[in-house]
Chains A and B, each alone.
Chain A
Amino acid sequence: MKKYIVAGLLSVVFLVVILFSFNKSSIEYTDFKTASEIGKRVQVVGSWVREKPSDYKIESNLFSFYMKDKKGKEMKVVHNGPQPNNFSIAKEFVVQGYVKGSVFYSNQIITKCPSKYEGEVEDIIK
């Protein structure tokens, strides 16, 4: 019986440690406001503010643009890499990174595209 109690206790400790490390390794979905407050690596969903300037610097490989999060807050985003190809047609996208000062430094942009990956009725009869 003792053996099982020890094993059980060990498993509980193990699970608790894992739960804590979830917290450390998770990348929360949030908005710019919270992102500025916590300064941790987060993901923010939003859309491109087309009216504001955007540019890509070849030398530094940095693409900067303005993005509006779901709550309407705008922020400058500096992305480490070129402008993703589907960027201009994406309805919204997710940037992964952190806020430093007044800039969101991103190293990943995941675009969600209105593409027809799933068949729809309209596709069948043209």
Chain B
Amino acid sequence: MFGKIIIYLASAGWLLSFLFYLFYDKTRNEKLLKFARFGYIGGITSILIASFFLLFNIFSHNFQLTYVWSYSSKKLPFLLQFSTFYAGQEGSFMLWALWLSIIGIFLFFFVKNRVSEGFPLAFYSLVLLFITIILIFKSPFADLWESFPGGNIPKDFMPEDGRGLNPILENYWIAIHPPILFLGYSLLTVPFVFAISGWLKKDYSSWIQHTTKWALFGAGVLGLGIMLGGFWAYETLGWGGFWGWDPVENSSLIPWLFVTALVHTLILQRLNGGLVRTNFVLASLSFIAVLYATYLTRSGVLSDTSVHSFVDPGKVVNVLLLIFQGIFVVFPAIIFFARLKNLPKIKSSYKLNSREFLTVLGALLLIVSAVIIILGTSLPIFQGWVGLKKIALDPHFYNQWMLPIAILILLLNAISLYFAWKTTDIKTAFKSNIWDLIIAFVVGVVFTIFNNKNFAFGFLIFSSFFSLIVNIKYIVRKIRQKNLRVGAFVSHLGIAILIVGSMLSGGFEQTRTIHLIEGGKANAFDYQFELVSKEQIEKHLSDREKYQYHIKIASNGSNSILKPIVYWSEFNNFEQPFFEPDIKTYVSKDVYVSPKSISFNDFFTPITLQKGKKIQAPWAEKDSIEFVSYDMSSMHVGTNTDHFMFGLLLKYTIDGKEFDDNVYSILNMKTNSFSPVWRRVPTKDFAIGFTKFEPAENLEQSSIQLSFGQEMFVADVTIKPFIWLVWLGVVFIVVGFFISITKYRKQPAPKPSLREVDKEVTLEETQNK
């Protein structure tokens, strides 16, 4: 109840601050300002309290709340309990509101000292108002009996324990990646509110000054967040790569591409006043892209075509998200067209041989990439509209489009440094840098020959190395001059490193499947793999059976142990295992061992038995197995009513000794499937499984099948050459953004445009009078 009230208070606060800031801006009435601030501070405070309250509920295991029950449990370690805050949809909206509120505190002081509080904070409040409205309908504070109205759940019912986090998320990365990504998303709101506030006030240039730092910061943080997601997928989720052009990944990349394009076009307006409209559009688009990402990943529209699981939030929230998006598309569009005629006339045509021109081209390429990714990702939606069957898009689509774009971007990265602002003597520029080109060309040719004359690949390598060399040269040169404005070069260098890394790791990737029984060996590439032992970990947790497979990897006399993980969890009734890869990193490559399956190879012919019968054991003439009786004592598995534990009591006679043991199979009533729980035969190194049940009129006449097998660990071994270059590249990109925040060209927008704006404003004002 308390939580819900707080959310209502928050929305009231944001509504208040939206309206009053709006009117304050028109009237400049100090009284209105007081109300507006009251609402703004109230909104922030409420969101902070609500967030703490949610955390408190999580830590105090209040499973009365549907949200806490759905995603948390008593068994979760502290850090993961903390992460349940945003593990579900409700919580991720809460996290978004929380970040916006925290940013809102800084924004408050930022605008107070520089511009008027009015419009920027009004629209900022509007964004928060919408999110809090979603939080009202999709509340993390809903009680169980409210969430399941038909479920006859008594009021104040408190389940023993929560369902817990999806095991694949149980990793420290969930404490890192989502918060950073959401901080990035949230930061992109600021350029947007500055843009619309500026244009509404017919101020087309000073908002650019305030926006630059925020856009740089947003792009840096979002880029970091995206990369951490990729690293998480590679390092623990075992997806094999760091990027798969999945809708979820794409939808986070789109805003980043827009805001990065914005970072480039902002520079140009700061330099000579051009690209006024472009900057407005890009600032709006980066924010709209965030909303679109939210829509894509929260609405369930893509559930058929993605590896990520989507949960449909229900009609109300879907409609809300659509309205929310609609408003934030239409609103800036209206402002844009209303102000078009009013724009200052600035001659901003760039000469073909100027750095400006190349920068515009670069930004354009980023926008084109964004458009391609939007179209590809939204394809299922378009198909839904026109009533076509939804089809999945092969990642090939993106790779094929991004290849030429990447080449162009890299070439621009390099050549633009040869070019001076305004105008360049191209001949001399290239002459004095001819060695960069030659070296890059040689590297490209070598790679082309090395890689089966794949010219596209070679061309990309050539352009990467060209960009790499030129950027390093300029960074060194600048630092020698004691000029630390190297952010752009560092980021561009990062792009080149990233692309080289992904080309090498993807293009020269090789995979082999290995099969290992305990003590067994297998060879793949130049390595020998040996399954030394299997160790159960996290034994104190009863909801899982988690095993580390200790695999010795030997090559040229050096040994090391890899520990990929296979585990079964109550979360899916032990139906299918979850896997975690392990990686051996060398300077030149990663050896990536990713478990694929645990299977049982047939050891002996299966035997069929009826109750009470005894049969000779397949491994030795003297030994025998007797099927004593059925065991139905532990029928239910976990919490699921569809699953039954079907058991048999067996009596073995092995080397004259008798052993009693039970073997079980899990019967799934929904699918009618029968999955044996393999069990080691006493004193032997193989396992027995209850693999079939052939029903007859009664149990006595029914027969069962017992199979014998050895557990086999099947894994893909993948060689990923130089994949660390990918991580290094992204680190450079992000660091570059952060360098730029502190060390960027502090050059005011040129006077003429400012004067023109002033002139026009005064003109219009006099007309109004």
Contacts and interface: CB of A to CB of B under 8 A. Distances in A.
- The yes or no verdict on A and B being binding partners is yes
Contact of B575 (A14, A22, A86, A119): A86
B668 A18 contact: no
Given A81-B513, A114-B668, A119-B66, A27 B379 contact: no
Contacts of B577: 85
A119 B576 contact: no
A117 B578 CA distance: 14
A45 B392 CA distance: 13
Nearest to A3: B349
B75 interface: no
Interface stretch (A68-76, A87-95, A97-105): A87-95
B671 A91 contact: yes
A82 B163 CA distance: 31
A121 B593 CA distance: 39
B456 interface: no
B153 interface: yes
Interface in B120-178: 144, 148, 150-151, 153, 157, 159, 163, 166
Given A26-B392, A58-B515, A21 B379 contact: no
Nearest to B375: A18
Contacts of A118: 311
Contacts of B394: 25-27, 41
A27 B379 CA distance: 12
Given A121-B150, A123-B163, A85 B393 contact: no
Interface string B357-401: 000000000001001100110010000000001111110110011
Given A114-B642, A125-B153, A22 B393 contact: yes
Nearest to A60: B513
B601 interface: yes
Contacts of B401: 18, 21
A83 interface: yes
Given A25-B400, A121-B148, A90 B596 contact: no
Contact of B599 (A18, A56, A90, A121): A56
A18 B144 contact: no
A125 B70 contact: no
B89 to A, nearest CB: 11
A6 to B, nearest CB: 14
Contact of B671 (A89, A117, A126): A89
Nearest to A122: B641
Contacts of A89: 575-576, 668, 671, 673, 675
Given A58-B515, A88-B675, A89-B675, A117 B150 contact: no
Contacts of B258: none
A113 B571 CA distance: 13
B714 interface: yes
B599 A113 contact: no
A82 B597 contact: yes
B510 interface: no
A26 B390 CA distance: 10
Interface residues of A, number: 39
A18 B597 contact: no
Contacts of A91: 670-671
Interface in B398-442: 400-401
B148 A25 contact: no
Interface residues of B, number: 54
A73 B309 CA distance: 30
Contacts of B318: none
A86 B575 CA distance: 7
A21 B376 CA distance: 10
A81 B595 CA distance: 12
A25 B704 CA distance: 48
Contacts of A58: 515, 601
Contacts of B639: 116, 122-123, 126
Contacts of B393: 22, 25-27
B702 interface: no
B182 interface: no
B671 A124 contact: no
Given A83-B597, A114-B642, A114-B670, A26 B69 contact: no
B513 A82 contact: yes
Contacts of A122: 639, 641
A101 to B, nearest CB: 23
A85 B309 contact: no
Contacts of B396: 25
A34 to B, nearest CB: 12
B57 interface: no
A21 to B, nearest CB: 6
Contacts of A88: 673-675
A93 to B, nearest CB: 11
A58 B641 CA distance: 36
Interface in A17-73: 18, 21-22, 24-29, 41, 43, 56, 58, 61
B742 interface: no
15 contacts: A18-B372, A24-B397, A43-B392, A56-B599, A85-B576, A86-B575, A86-B576, A89-B576, A113-B575, A114-B642, A117-B572, A119-B69, A124-B153, A124-B157, A126-B639
Given A115-B575, A121-B151, 6 more contacts: A22-B375, A22-B393, A91-B671, A115-B576, A119-B66, A122-B641
Interface of B: 66, 69-70, 144, 148, 150-151, 153, 157, 159, 163, 166, 309, 311, 368, 371-372, 375-376, 379, 389-394, 396-397, 400-401, 513, 515, 571-573, 575-577, 596-599, 601, 639-642, 668, 670-671, 673-675, 714
Nearest 8 CB-CB pairs, A to B? A25-B397, A121-B151, A86-B576, A115-B572, A26-B391, A61-B513, A82-B714, A82-B597
